[in-house]
A and B are shown apart, each in its own frame.
Chain A
């Protein structure tokens, strides 16, 4: 089955810096890669996703890149703000109607 690894587990940046979180997956058949943001005590929120037929997608300060050959995808956050502080999860489609999640990255943005 699908296996997703996520790095780093924690990431501290200064406000205004960029942050990059990386994930690798094992199943070459996976075709959908969402990213979720989870604030303390709340459910994860879908913030961006990418499908296997594109290499990059942007939404304001957030971008995701996908390298199907290397089986890895990354989340890029530019001009970070304190409200970006949260836990971020990547996921990959692990079979019909299933997602397999990474272990999460705790992002701390210091003012």
Chain B
């Protein structure tokens, strides 16, 4: 059963703590993405990776970090430098090699800072 999994579904963090969100895909997609979603707003791109061991900043990368050591995995770390981390975080993946960027999303992780 192919797809994208994110864990955990809900995450609570105290101010000043770093936290890592997991994203795994078994679709054999080369590209992976992290988005942040706030109420009443669209999806904003945090980081994306087109290939293993390479990634680029999106529009709102400050306070976040990523790694891409395996094709299947693209974890996101929310650091204490992120001023307003409470949000819904979405991971997506897409195949490369086509001019059309069909992205498929995971179920999301809701992060709440206490």
Which A residues fall within an 8 A CB radius of B? Answer: 4, 6, 9, 31-32, 34, 36, 41-46, 49, 51, 89, 93, 97-99, 101-104
Contacts and interface: CB of A to CB of B under 8 A. Distances in A.
A69 B52 CA distance: 38
Interface of B: 4, 6, 31, 40-45, 48, 50, 58, 90, 94, 96, 99-108, 110
B47 to A, nearest CB: 11
Contacts of A32: 99-102
A81 to B, nearest CB: 23
A103 B42 contact: yes
Contacts of B6: 43
A44 B31 contact: no
B103 A89 contact: no
Nearest to B88: A41
The 3 A-B residue pairs with the shortest CB-CB distance, nearest first, are: A43-B105, A101-B42, A32-B100
